[in-house]
Structure 1
Amino acid sequence: MCSDWHSLPVKLSENILEAINALGFKESLPVQQCVIPLLLSSKDVAAEAITGSGKTLAFVVPVLEILMQRKRPWQTYEIGALILSPTCELAIQIYEVVLHFIKFINKNEYNFSALVFTGSGRSSGPTTKFHDFNKFKENGSVILVSTPGRLTDLILTGTVVNFGLGNMANPIIRGLRSVEILILDEADRLLEMGFESQINTILSFLPKQRRTGLFSATQTTRVEDLVRAGLRNPVRVTVSQQTVGELESMNKNKSLQQRVPSSLQNFYTIVEPDEKISLIVRFILLHKNDKILIFLATCACVDYFYCTLKGLLSMKQSKRIQRLHGKLSKKRFNLFTKFKETSNGILLCTDVMARGIDVPHIDWVIQCDPPTNATEFVHRCGRTARCGLKGNALLFVTSQEDAYINFLHINQQVNLLHMEREELNQHMTPLTTVDTPHSISERIRSLCKNDKLLHEKAIRAFVSYVQFYRKHECNLLLNHKKLDYGRLANGFGLLQLPAMPELRTGNVSAFNPSNVDVSKLTYRLFSSRFILKKFLE
C-alpha cells in the first residue's frame, strides 16, 4: 500500500517534499507512513521492516524536519542529529541522501551541514581519526553519520589531544550533548558486528531527553536489550509490504508473515559443487544487459573467482566484473561506486553487501551457497526488488543440501520456486560446442598452470571454503562430512589437493589430479609476485 506524501497525518515542509520529488518517489511506502508521523510527534520508535522497504527516507525525513523546527540557529559544534550505521558503505550511502536533502533545505534561511566518519575516504582512500577529528573541529556539523567504532575512536582521540583539559574540551563530546535525535540503523547488524560496547559508550555522552529511532530488519533478544537501554517507552512498529496498520495496531507489534518484498521472485536450483562456476559463466553470458550481484562464501573465494572469471570471459564481458569484501578496506568505496554507476555490472562479494546497501536496479542476486545465518538469506535477496521494484534472486544448493529450502520456508517464511536445470540450460547458449562443467574446470586449471599466484589463490579459496562449510550454523543440513570434496576441488580447478585434516576422511574419490609439478609453476610475467621474487633474488 502506497500513498501520496501529502496524505501523511503530519505536514512536511515544501523543501522536503521538493527533495523527495527530485529523487523520483511520488508515493510514500508503508514504513515511511508509519514511522515519520511517530518521530515527528516526539515518540521513540523501534521499527522492524523487511529489507528494501524504504527505511532510509523513513528516518532522514523526520530528522531534517526536527532540525528545522528549532527556533534558534545551530551553533558551530552543536550536533543536532546522530546516525549510526554498521558499515562504511551504508554510512556513506545515508550521508549522500542527507546531502541531497540539505541542498534543498539550504535554499531558504537554513545553513545545515553534514559529515560522515567511517575511516574510509570517499575518493582519496582511508582517512585517519586525527583527520576526521580536525575536520569536525574546523567547522563542526549539524548532522553526523558514523560507524560506532570510528565515533568512539574520535571521542577518545579528542580526549587525548586535549589531555588535561577534560572531556568538554573535545568538540565532538561537547557536540553530542546537544543531540536531539539519534538513529540506530540496521541495529541487528550493529550488534552482530560487536558494536555493543561502542554504542553504550556513545549513549553515555548523549542527552537523555532526545528522540531515538531504531531500525532493524529482524528482532532479536539483543536488539530488545538495546531498545530497553536506548529508547524511552518506544512505539513498536512491524511493517510488511502488504499491510500498513493504523497507529493503534502498530503499538501491538503485529507479527510479519512475509520477510521478503512481494515484488521479488525467489528461485533455487540444484547445482553440484563442480558445476557452479560453469553455471555462473553461462548465466553472465545470458544476462549481458543485467546488473548482477553474486554472493560467495569467503573473501578468498571472491578474490579467486574474480580472477578466474576475468580469464574465462571475453574482454568485453570481463570488464563488467568487480569484487568487494571486508578485506579491501582501501578500495571498497571506489569499487562500490563503480558498480553502483554501471547499468550491467557484475559484483562478486561477501556479506559486506548483504545489509542496507541500496544499489539501483539490481536485476539478479545469486547466492552460490546458503549463507551461514538464515536471516542473511533475506538480507542478501533484499539487494534487489527494493522500494516496490521487481527483482529476482537465485540460490544454488547441491543435492545434499535441498532440505535447506524447506528450512528457509519454516525459519524465514520464504517460499522459493524450483528452477529446473533444463529450464536454465534451454535459455543458455554454450560457450563452445563442448561446453561442460569439466571443460570449464580444465580451462581454470590451464589458467592456474600459467600463473603460480592464481594457483595459490585457488588453494586459499578452497581451504577457506572448507572452513566456511565446516562452521556453518545449519550443520545438520549442510554436513561437512557429506560434502563431496573431490567434486568441490574440481570446481575450484585445483591442480593438487592441499594437506587438510578434512580431506583425510572426506570423500575425494571424484577428484582428477593434474600431472603438473606445482613446485615448478612460475609467476605470470610482471605480476606483483614476479617483481618481488626478482627483487629478492
Structure 2
Amino acid sequence: MADDGEEKPKNFHEMELDDRILKAIAKLGWQTPTLIQERAIPLLLEGKDVLVRARTGSGKTAAFAVPVIQKILNIKQTAQHQEIKALILAPSKELCHQICGVIKELTIKCSREVRCVDVAPQVELGVQKPLLVEKPDIVVGTPTRVLKHVKAGNLDLKKSMEILVIDEADLVFSFGYESEVKELMERLPTIYQAILASATLSEDVKSLKNLVLHNPVTLKLEEPEIAPASQLTHYHLMAEEMDKASILYSLLKLHLIRGKTIIFVNTVDKCYKIKLYLEQFGIPTCVLNSELPAKIRCHSVNQFNQGIYDIIVASDEKALEEPGNFEVKKSKRKKDKESGVSRGIDFQFVANVINFDFPLDVESYIHRAGRTARGNNQGSVLSFVSIKEKSLLEQVENNLKVGQEDASIFKSYHFKLEEVEAFRYRAKDAWRAVTRIAVREARLKEIKQEIFNCQKLKSYFEDNPTDLQVLRHDKALHTVKIQHHLSDVPEYIVPPTLKGVASLGRKNKRKRDHYRTSQGSTSRFQAKKSNPLLSMDFEGFNKKKKKN
C-alpha cells in the first residue's frame, strides 16, 4: 500500500477505540499494537474491505477482532433490535475456538453488549439453535457448519449481517470448503464489509479475493515469512529413525531442551509411538491429531497454554495431502478435515519446535516454525533429518535464504552419540517395545479415557476441582510395560562434559515443578527463558573447562 504521508497511530489509545476495549487490551498486557494491527485497525474502522497478509504469530486475529467489536459497539448506540452483525469463518474447529476466545477476552468489559457464539463444534444443530435464536452479535464457525445452520433456518444472515471475516484464507479452499463458501456467498447481503486474513497470497486467496472483496486495500507487510534470525534459531541434525529416538530421549532427560516444546511427526501412529516411547522414561506428553474429537483437541491446547504440561506430540497430516515423491498409505481411520495443528492455533510461550519427522514441503516447515517465536518471544526449531530427507532440507533452506544476507539458515546441532552410549542402549529397548499392537491399543485406550472430558461433567468438576486431574491429557497410557528405573538418570551415565549442564537442568526442573505446584501454571516462568535450546557441542564444553 502506498504511503500517503500521514502518520500512523502507534498506540491503541490513539485509534479512537472504546474505553471498554482499551481496558480489556490493558488487562491482556498488550502494550503496543503489532505492525499489522497498527496498519489494519484504522482502515477497518473506516469501513474499507481489506486483504491482510502477515506471517503467522503477527497478531492477525486481534487486527480484525478489535475493529469488529468497535463497530458493533457503535451500531448498538442506535440499534433498536438485537441482530447478528458479524460472521467469522475459519478452516478448523481449533481456530474457531481460539478466535471466539480472543473476542471474549476483548469484550470482558462489555460482555453484555457484545456476544459471540462458536458454532464449529460437531453437535446436533438443534443443540446450538437456542444460542442462535438469541441472535448473538458475532457468529464464528467453519464454512460447512455455518452453511448447515443457514439451510436449517437457524441462521438468517441476509437481513442483518454487516461484516464478514475469513481467517487463514489460504487454507479455506485447500481444506475443501470451496463449494460451501460459494454457496454461502449467495445467502449473504449484497452489501457488507469484508476482511480476508492470510499468511500467504496464494492462488486460492486471489480467488477468494475476487469472490468476497470489493475494491479492497491490500496490506502486505514487507517482512519475512518467519521470525528473523535474532528471534528464531534453526538447527538441523542428521540422524536416522533409531538415532532420532535416542537423541530425543537424551535431550529431554539431560534437560538440554528447556521450556514448552512441540514435537512434530507426519502420521497419527507416530504420535502414539513417541508418546509411549517417552512414557517409559517418565516423560509425560500429550498427543494432538485429526482423529481426536475437536473438544479434546481444544482442551489439550488450553491446558498446554496454561502450563499444565510442557510437551505436545503433534501430527502435521495436512502436509501429506500433496506428498510429492513420497508415498503415503491411505488410512481407514476417520479423520477430521476441520482440524489443524501446524496452522492457526495460538500455542502460547512455545520455546522449541522439534521436527522428529522433517516436513514434506517448505510451507509446512514455515508453519511449524511459526508455532514458536510468536510476538516478541524467542524460539528455536530443531529438525532431525534422515538421508532421504536431505533434499527437503536443502529445498527449505534455499527458500528461506532468498533475499537474506546470511547464506546459511540452518545451524548444525552438534551431538556425539558415542558420549551417551548408555542412553542409546536404553533407547533401543524402549523404542522396540512400542509395537504396532501397543500403538493400536493406546489409541483405543485414549478414546475410552477421554470420555471423562465430556461437557456433562463440567458442573461436577467445578464443584470438585481436585478431581480435575482426571482431565489431564498427558497421563500415561500404559500399553507398554513400564520399567520405573528408566525414569531416573543415574549420575554415572551422564557424560562428564555435560554433568554441569545436566545438573543445572535438573535444578531448573525442580524450580519449575515448585512453580507449577504453587502457581498452577508455568507460562510466566517459561516466557522468561532466554536460551531454550542448548547445543550439545561437547568440544565447546571442553574448551570452556580448559579456560576455567
TM-score, normalising length from structure 1? 0.70
Does residue 64 (structure 1) correspond to residue 69 (structure 2)? The answer is yes
* Aligned counterparts of 1:445 and 1:191: Cα–Cα separation in 2: 41
Does residue 238 (structure 1) correspond to residue 220 (structure 2)? The answer is yes
Which residue pairs with 2:475 in the alignment? none
* Aligned counterparts of 2:393 and 2:432: Cα–Cα separation in 1: 33
Q: Secondary structure at the match of 2:57?
A: coil
Match of residue 418, structure 1, among 395, 411, 420: 411
Which residue pairs with 2:383 in the alignment? 395
Which residue pairs with 2:366 in the alignment? 378
Match of residue 43, structure 1, among 32, 48, 51: 48
CA apart distance, 1:215: 0.6
CA apart distance, 1:135: 2.6
Q: Which runs of 4+ in 1 moved over 6 A?
A: 457-460
The sequence identity of aligned pairs, in percent, is: 27
Which residue pairs with 1:309 in the alignment? 278
Deviation string, structure 1 residues 456-493 (Cα, Å, up to 9, x no partner): 57999xxxxxxxxxxxxxxxxxxxxxxxxxxxxxxxx9
Which residue pairs with 1:267 in the alignment? 235
Deviation string, structure 1 residues 390-420 (Cα, Å, up to 9, x no partner): 1111112113432323311333447632223
- 1:38 maps to a residue whose letter is L
CA apart distance, 1:444: 2.7
Structure 1 residues 288 and 267, CA, compared in 2 at 3 Å: closer, same or farther? closer
Does residue 114 (structure 1) correspond to residue 116 (structure 2)? The answer is yes
Deviation string, structure 1 residues 395-453 (Cα, Å, up to 9, x no partner): 1211343232331133344763222333x769xx95xx6222x64222232454xxx83
**Residues 368, 395 of structure 1: 8 Å contact kept:** yes
**Residues 372, 379 of structure 2: 8 Å contact kept:** yes
* Aligned counterparts of 1:378 and 1:445: Cα–Cα separation in 2: 32
Q: Secondary structure at the match of 1:104?
A: coil
Structure 1 stretches lacking a partner, 5+ long: 121-126, 159-169, 242-257, 461-492, 494-537
**Residues 50, 240 of structure 1: 8 Å contact kept:** no
Does residue 29 (structure 1) correspond to residue 34 (structure 2)? The answer is yes
- 1:221 maps to a residue whose letter is E
* Aligned counterparts of 2:89 and 2:170: Cα–Cα separation in 1: 12
Does residue 444 (structure 1) correspond to residue 444 (structure 2)? The answer is no
Alignment of 1:205-220 (within 5 A): 205-220=187-202
Deviation string, structure 1 residues 307-345 (Cα, Å, up to 9, x no partner): 2221x212xx32xx1001011015222222222222651
- 1:332 maps to a residue whose letter is R
CA apart distance, 1:18: 1.2
Match of residue 283, structure 1, among 251, 259, 263: 251
Structure 2 stretches lacking a partner, 5+ long: 1-7, 317-339, 403-407, 445-479, 481-548
Match of residue 438, structure 2, among 454, 459, 467: 454
* Aligned counterparts of 1:354 and 1:313: Cα–Cα separation in 2: 27
Deviation string, structure 1 residues 268-327 (Cα, Å, up to 9, x no partner): 2212222111222222222575110011101121122222221x212xx32xx1001011
Match of residue 155, structure 2, among 172, 179, 197: 172
CA apart distance, 1:87: 1.1
Does residue 349 (structure 1) correspond to residue 342 (structure 2)? The answer is no
**Residues 288, 344 of structure 1: 8 Å contact kept:** no
Q: Secondary structure at the match of 1:75?
A: coil
Structure 1 residues 5 and 309, CA, compared in 2 at 3 Å: closer, same or farther? same
TM-score, normalising length from structure 2? 0.69
Structure 1 residues 459 and 144, CA, compared in 2 at 3 Å: closer, same or farther? closer
Deviation string, structure 1 residues 113-145 (Cα, Å, up to 9, x no partner): 11001125xxxxxx22221123312x2211111
Does residue 91 (structure 1) correspond to residue 96 (structure 2)? The answer is yes
**Residues 323, 348 of structure 1: 8 Å contact kept:** yes
Structure 1 residues 79 and 413, CA, compared in 2 at 3 Å: closer, same or farther? farther
Alignment of 1:133-532 (within 5 A): 133-137=129-133, 139-156=134-151, 158=152, 170-173=153-156, 175-241=157-223, 258-262=224-228, 263-285=231-253, 286-287=255-256, 289-310=258-279, 312-314=280-282, 317-318=283-284, 321-329=285-293, 331-342=296-307, 345-351=310-316, 352-413=340-401, 416-422=409-415, 430=420, 434-436=422-424, 439-446=426-433, 448=435, 453-454=437-438
**Residues 10, 38 of structure 2: 8 Å contact kept:** no
Q: Secondary structure at the match of 1:349?
A: strand
